[in-house]
A and B are shown apart, each in its own frame.
Chain A
Amino acid sequence: MDRIRFAHILGAAALVGCIDYGVDDTDDYTDVPVIVEERFVQSAAPAVDVLWVIDNTCSMAEEQDSLASAFEGFVDAITEVDVAWQIGVITTDVSDDSAGVLQGAPWVLTPQDASPVETFSNTVQVGTSGVAPESGLGAAWLALNAPLRDEENRGFRRADAGLHVIVVSDDDDDSSAVLGDDPQTAFLDFLEEEGSEVGVDVRLSAVVGDDPDGCTGARGEALPGTVYTQVAEASGGTVGSICDADLSGVLSDLGALSLDWQAVFTLQAAAQEDSLRVSLDGVRQDTGWVYESAPPSIVFSEAPGPDVEIRVRYWLLDSEA
């Protein structure tokens, strides 16, 4: 391109003899690129709501104790990053007016709690007087929908936060009383709607009896959690065995899974697309991402991991006609 800025300078100087600030910006093009490099460090999505659904039927006392003692791993995982998390606990019992109502005090646990492990440990021991059938999906649905969402459970579910429902039970779900003939489909539809409305990740995980045969552990026998397992797999959640002798590993995994990592990194200016160079922790990436222009951003097909450094080098779009 011939119309370089130097020609404008020479021409303007020759005509007027001197040039001051504030002249009209008539020089539209240049062949000299402005190259910038933006740096990002992967961080978790800013907020997540975690709803624990605890089986409170008579066979669950030891499981609740074990869950309480293993909760530290879960808290460690979600407090490792600066995330505005909220945790609530409900039971699988939908037989009375307290169905789906968050338990404990405080009933919405936040990072402001001075001792979240202790608070959760107290809250999660919801007793063993619950009425069968265990209706984890139905209870979660009640907790996350009106009227409880706006009344007793007000404030727990935030519009811009991710959602992770975690069911702990030694029996399978039977939520037909709440969700109709096909609770599994109804709950998955709810999760999809919840996620799509606000563009956040929502999922269900389950700590249940092994599918399809159930399991036996030190705390007793568990029936297969087939429905919970299928919902977890369909929603991107994970499944742990309630028969594990030590639930701390399962809970740590659940904590990590509760965090959503950014896949979209917005640039400060429009980039010349063919100039883009993307690297993760110093390793150039030619695939696994695309550039979107409105707003200018790099969109990864799979979110980079925690603390990964993302560098994006590009020419500013206006550098070339």
Chain B
Amino acid sequence: MSVVLALAVYALSGSVVAADLVWSADLEGDDAGFSAAGETGQWEWDEVTTGPAACFTGVNCWATLPQGAYLHEATDYLIFPVLDLTALAAPTLTFSHWMEIAPIDLGTVEAQVAGVWTRLDPAYGYTDVGGYSSSTAGWETVYFSLADLGESAALRISFVTGNTGFGSGWYVDDFAVYDGDIVPPSVTDLTELSDTEDVDGPYVVTATVVDDVGLESVRLEFAVDDGTVVQTTMTDLGGGIWEGQIPGQQSGHEITYWVVAADSENETVAPVEGWTFSVRLAPPTDLEGPDGLVHGPTATLAWGAPESIFDLEGYSVYRDEELVLEVTDPTAAVPLVTGDQSFTVTAVYDVGESAPTEPVEVSAAVPEVISVSPEEGYQGDTIRVEIVSSYLLMVDEEVALDLGDGVTVSALDVRDVDTLVATLSIDETAESSMRDVAITAGGWEVAFVAGFEVLSGEARPRIDSVDPADLTQGESTKLVIVATHPFAEVPLVSLGEGVVIEEVALLDDQQTLEVDLAVAWNAALGERVLEVDDGVRVLDDQIVWVRDYVVEVPRGGCSTTADSAFGGGWLVALLIGIRRRHTMRSGGQDQNFVNGSSSRKA
């Protein structure tokens, strides 16, 4: 916004008007007694939709052909109603205008003095030697002194056009006559400060400030980062030139400043919204990053070293405004996160940090571990852990897993590119501690820090009891297994080759299993490791014996009587035989066994 516009807008909206209103015409209800005259009569009172798009206020104003372009090679007038200036000490005419005409066209205000139309000059002059010309920067308010026109003033607006040019013409609105000083000071040629590295200051501002009556004060005001407004007095250098100073500011701040000039009645703020400059150290230049999607944990950024009066110490790299890296070279492998992100780089000087570069956008697919479940296991455990990753693109038999000393990875099953199921055997003596879960896959080495904890084996889930603990060849029976902890789901049970697990039932306490099984006649004799696998943990700390079909007689307690050593054994054997003949099984175990050991569905 130019100084001129700032002055004009403020003068209408912010002046302290101590003068008396004598006459006004907002032109909304009627044409206020104005009339068109001249060669073409192109002045019209109407609504405005072209040119400035709207009147200064309201919907009606006077304009040269308000619905289109003005006419060439014509002299036309807008005649004021006769103004009564009787007993006015300092009558002043004001109105607002918008103009878009050729440089050779001219607009003026004229008054009839002694029967002759004479040009009136506005306060602070026309924009051109001969009058108003060319274009205004929006609607502007102007002032004309009527002090020398007597008690009755005949006024007109004169519009003289040449034979070239094209535009919307001249629009005028909101006429008024005051008695007194309504003309605010004029502020022009204000110094426009540029961004600077200078943190010492001061930042010197000059402006041309004049008033039609006389200035009372001229101030330079500023605010740092839209904070508290600071007022400083400007110094008169003579010739209408005033100088003010803003003290030095720290790097990284924005300073907005403006001039406030006042006479005895009115005040001007220019520019109305202030001008802004930054105190900032020179940032790096030409930041560049990779194009397209980056598949990896890092991307290389490069930038140019800044030119500065200060000593450069290094650079800070920000990802989405968060500091992620500090380097000394103008290139860096920056850490990525999956998705879109914005990088900027600042230069770090001995006096402070620069403003950031223009951002570089990077899209990334970062190989990483998302979760480990379960997150802990016990000393002595055999446990399955599901590891979910993203963009690691795991391939079966091309994955390695490491959880540190004492944790053996006994099996790895890649379910899909994102999911790995690992069977871990934790030594009884493994240190109880948090472990990093380190995966190597697809050329990446990714660690999930503190992703798994080895707990003391004292609380490890176990099989508490098995009943019966002895099985007999040819027997069909029900095994009752009680665990110390609830099972995650109905487990698979295995006793090895020759023992067919028909059905496993998990009772309501979630810790007790009833297992229907049958033992083959040729099942190998001896101890079997009972394996109970609920998908998460394999419990294998109990032994079950497979005995021969023969009748058990307690060692050392044998009797030679028919009842105990012969007759009793006979009876038991007979009962077993009867049971065998009548054993029919219903139900079975929903599982696949290969070579006597259970294998879970993948």
Report A's interface with B, CB cutoff 8 A: 4-6, 8-10, 12-14, 17-23, 25, 27-30, 32, 34-41, 43, 46-47, 82, 84-86, 105-106, 108, 110-112, 154-156, 158-160, 265-269, 295, 311-313, 316, 318-319
User: Which of the four size classes fits the interface of chain B?
Assistant: 35 or more
Q: For the complex, give the distance between the alpha carbons of A228 and B297 in Å.
A: 40
Q: For the complex, give the distance between the alpha carbons of A37 and B601 in Å.
A: 20
Which partner residue on chain B sits nearest A150 by CB separation? B395
Contact (Cβ within 8 A) B558 A39: no
Q: For the complex, give the distance between the alpha carbons of A30 and B602 in Å.
A: 38
Out of A18, A29, A30, A37, which one reaches B565, CB within 8 Å?
A18
> Given A9-B569, A25-B525, A34-B476: A20 and B587 within 8 A (CB)?
no
> Given A36-B585, A158-B396, A318-B521: A268 and B593 within 8 A (CB)?
yes
Within 8 A of A (CB), among B530-589: 545, 547-555, 557-558, 560, 565-566, 569-570, 573-574, 577, 580-581, 583-589
Contact (Cβ within 8 A) B365 A112: no
Contact (Cβ within 8 A) B569 A316: no
A interface majority secondary structure? loop
Contact (Cβ within 8 A) A86 B500: no
Report B's interface with A, CB cutoff 8 A: 293, 363, 365, 370, 388, 390-391, 393-396, 414-419, 442, 470, 473-474, 476, 497-498, 500-503, 518-522, 524-526, 545, 547-555, 557-558, 560, 565-566, 569-570, 573-574, 577, 580-581, 583-590, 592-596, 601-602
Pick 12 A–B contacts, CB within 8 A, sort by A.
A4-B577, A9-B569, A13-B551, A13-B565, A18-B555, A25-B524, A27-B549, A34-B520, A36-B476, A40-B590, A112-B416, A155-B417
Which partner residue on chain A sits nearest B501 by CB separation? A268
Contact (Cβ within 8 A) A36 B580: no
Which partner residue on chain B sits nearest A41 by CB separation? B590
Q: For the complex, give the distance between the alpha carbons of A25 and B473 in Å.
A: 10
> Given A36-B500, A110-B416, A155-B393: A269 and B602 within 8 A (CB)?
no
Contact (Cβ within 8 A) B416 A85: yes
Instruction: Tell me the total A-B contact number using a CB cutoff of 8 A.
Output: 187
Contact (Cβ within 8 A) B521 A316: yes
Q: Name the distance in Å between B496's Cβ and chain A's nearest Cβ.
A: 10
Q: Name the distance in Å between B525's Cβ and chain A's nearest Cβ.
A: 5
Out of A9, A265, A313, which one reaches B592, CB within 8 Å?
A265
Contact (Cβ within 8 A) B596 A106: no
> Given A9-B573, A41-B590, A268-B593: A319 and B521 within 8 A (CB)?
yes
Q: For the complex, give the distance between the alpha carbons of A40 and B592 in Å.
A: 8
List of 7 A-B pairs having minimum Cβ-Cβ separation, nearest first: A18-B558, A39-B588, A38-B588, A155-B393, A155-B417, A318-B522, A268-B593
B524 proximity list for chain A (CB < 8 A): 25
Q: For the complex, give the distance between the alpha carbons of A4 and B554 in Å.
A: 23
Contact (Cβ within 8 A) A32 B396: no
A13 proximity list for chain B (CB < 8 A): 551, 553, 565-566, 569-570
